[in-house]
Amino acid sequence: MKKFRLFTPGPCAVPEEVLLEMSRPFHHHRTDWFKGYMKAAAEKLQQILCTRNDVIIITGSGTAAAEAAIVGIHGQGSKLLTIEAGKFGQRWGEIAQQHGIPVTRHAVEWGEAITPEQLSGLLKADPAITAVMVVHSETSTATRVDLQNIGKVCQAQGKLLLADCITSAGAMPLKPDEWGVDVAITGSQKALMLPPGLGFLSVSARAWSAIETNKNQHAYYLNLNKARKSAVENDTPFTPAHLLVRGLVKALDLLLEEGLEKIWTRVATMAAATRAAGEAIGLPVFSKFPSDSVTALRPPAGITVKDIRNDLEQRFGIESAGGQDQLKVKIFRLGHMGFVDEMDTLLAIGAIEQVLYKRGHKFNLGAGVTAAQKVIAERS
């Protein structure tokens, strides 16, 4: 017997109910049948994203959704500031550059997070900037920014705010309307408990004005004006991955049944338990401002990330993530998104202890699960 357990920070575990929902016979997508799913998906996404803004569904990855936003927003006279504290932050700057959009790419050390005050300084130094793009939860470094106060800075200075919420939406508190996030971007394969293939954007009225008046927008498939025109009719401009939309409605139902506040608490508990366990067994937390949706731990001296990940997979069927780019061998990551709860986290911590013990790491066997148990008990 070998059980398989998906703990990567995306794709994340999907409920069997959702997988089975998608295996049911399906109709054509230009039908009232499918429009019903689109309508339900958009409404439920608004609830999960805490927004009254339009929600757009794109067939593609989170990157596709982000590109649609970046390209859509930036017409004549606009300038973007990207805050790049990891692989995904860098990607958004690359996209702007590739499209010839004026962009200032601000690098932040990986594992650190920009503060609202620092952002304010950057914006004051360059009044030409019209929009800011930040990563709410930087998956590559397991780090979060203070999006709420970043939103205040952007609002005070009249800048549009685009936020990559790919690993925050549905996992951590996120209130685009209240916080002034003009475009919140996410994807299907993270906290929304679906396989990969869909990207989502909530778009504010202010952002739509920029998108509507953008005359030099090249994108065709990733064109938000086209998407909006169809979305009004609960439709899509191009053939959608409608099987995934159907699964989405089921997954959102499950999430809304649990309730957003409870989900946020559950995810925060899993993350806090993992951090406490890591510190208790000699695996320091990498990030200075840890995200709750994913935790990055450093391996102990003498044991490689590769060894830990391989052992976890081979002995216990646990799929974890290593680091990306310069962090490749420096951290390993566990996700707290999707169809996982506190006891799954406990199981993963138990497995990490077993792996480290067998590899000769010196620590008090049981200290990790004990630390986790205390966190879970306190918060439940």
In the complex, the residues that contact a copy of itself under the rule CB under 8 A are: 4, 6, 8, 10-11, 14, 19-20, 22-29, 31, 59-64, 67, 94-95, 98-100, 187, 189, 195-197, 217-223, 238-244, 319, 321
CB-wise, 54 or 67, nearer to a copy of itself? Answer: 67
CB contact at 8 A, 90 and 84: yes
CB-wise, 242 or 275, nearer to a copy of itself? Answer: 242
One-letter-per-residue 3-state SS of the chain: CCCCEECCCCCCCCCHHHHHHHCCCCCCCCCHHHHHHHHHHHHHHHHHCCCCCEEEEEECCHHHHHHHHHHHHCCCCCCEEEEECCHHHHHHHHHHHHCCCCEEEEECCECECCCHHHHHHHHHHCCCCCEEEEECEECCCCEECCHHHHHHHHHHCCCEEEEECCCCCCCCCCCHHHHCCCEEEEECCCCCCCCCCEEEEEECHHHHHHHHCCCCCCCCCCCHHHHHHHHCCCCCCCCCCHHHHHHHHHHHHHHHHHCHHHHHHHHHHHHHHHHHHHHHCCCCECCCCECCCEEEECCCCCCCHHHHHHHHHHHHCEECEECCHHHCCCCEEEECCCCCCHHHHHHHHHHHHHHHHHCCCCCCCCHHHHHHHHHHHHHC
CB-wise, 155 or 324, nearer to a copy of itself? Answer: 324
CB-wise, 67 or 342, nearer to a copy of itself? Answer: 67
CB of 189 to a copy of itself, least distance (A): 6
CB of 238 to a copy of itself, least distance (A): 4
CB-wise, 141 or 269, nearer to a copy of itself? Answer: 141
CB-wise, 53 or 189, nearer to a copy of itself? Answer: 189
CB-wise, 8 or 51, nearer to a copy of itself? Answer: 8
* Residues in contact with 355: Cβ distance below 8 Å, sequence separation at least 6, in sequence order: 307, 308, 311, 312, 315, 316
CB of 140 to a copy of itself, least distance (A): 13
CB of 128 to a copy of itself, least distance (A): 22
CB of 113 to a copy of itself, least distance (A): 24
CB-wise, 10 or 368, nearer to a copy of itself? Answer: 10
CB-wise, 197 or 368, nearer to a copy of itself? Answer: 197
Angle at 322 between CA 320 and CA 324, to 5 degrees: 140
CB of 246 to a copy of itself, least distance (A): 9
CB of 41 to a copy of itself, least distance (A): 15
CB of 59 to a copy of itself, least distance (A): 6
Cis peptide preceding 11, ω within 30 of 0: yes
CB of 20 to a copy of itself, least distance (A): 6
